């Protein structure tokens, strides 16, 4: 494979890395360099911005699965960099962002309720994952504190046994505020909560 090629548009010899891949081409790369392709796209866009936006939106909707997969790979590759860049931009333009958010909310007062009503299953799955994450982080915090000697495991506060005692959280947002319960009492407590009772 050649390491360079000549752009058909600007006639400059450039590295093949400066050309987009193109499987239809013999050498596997577009005949025009990336800069020339971008310039052509920008020129075409500004000839009729509104028509271009409609066309781009339609193309994205018709190829949504491809776009989602691309964004997933892109985020996995440089997600941290993008988050830092977005945060930096928001910090610099904080007043503008807040004003824009306020304006949008005033123009769409019922958006949240309507979106929730149309996506209840999605919200339920999201809430389940959120609870599981809080549960894991709280238990991990207790385990680390026990390992460091900051917390001492106590006998079951319900039956008094010292066998198989676990940390029960009434509030996972307060990971080190726990009730010590044996496995049996712990299960009874959670069973009672599921049945709507307040005690085992």
**What residues contact residue 179 under an 8 Å CB cut-off, 6+ apart?**
157, 167, 168, 169, 170
Give per-residue pLDDT as tens, 151-200.
999 999 999 999 999 999 999 889 999 999 999 999 999 888 887 754 44
**Res 77: pLDDT:** 87
**Res 190: pLDDT:** 87
CA-based diameter of the chain, in Å? 84
pTM to 2 decimals? 0.45
Q: Which residue ranges make up each domain of the chain?
A: 8-60, 63-109, 120-194
**Res 1: pLDDT:** 55
* Total length of the chain: 200
Give per-residue pLDDT as tens, 91-140.
999 999 999 999 999 999 999 899 889 999 988 999 999 989 999 999 99
């Amino acid at each position: 494979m050649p390491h360079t090629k000549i752009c058909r548009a600007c006639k400059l010899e450039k590295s093949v890395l400066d050309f987009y891949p193109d499987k239809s081409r013999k050498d596997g790369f577009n005949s025009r360099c990336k800069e020339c392709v971008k310039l052509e796209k920008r020129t075409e866009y500004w000839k009729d911005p509104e028509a271009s936006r409609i066309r781009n939106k339609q193309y994205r909707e018709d190829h949504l699965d491809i776009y989602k997969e691309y964004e997933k790979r892109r985020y996995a590759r440089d997600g941290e960099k993008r988050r830092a860049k977005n945060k930096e931009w928001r910090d610099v333009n904080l007043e503008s962002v807040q004003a824009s958010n306020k304006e949008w909310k005033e123009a769409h007062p019922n958006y949240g309720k309507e979106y929730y009503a149309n996506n209840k299953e999605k919200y339920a799955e999201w809430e389940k994952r959120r609870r599981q994450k809080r549960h894991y982080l709280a238990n991990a915090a207790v385990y680390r504190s026990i390992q460091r000697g900051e917390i001492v495991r106590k006998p079951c506060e319900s039956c008094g046994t010292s066998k198989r005692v676990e940390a029960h959280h009434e509030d996972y947002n307060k990971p080190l505020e726990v009730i010590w319960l044996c496995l049996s009492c712990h299960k009874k407590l959670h069973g009672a909560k599921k049945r709507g009772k307040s005690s085992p």
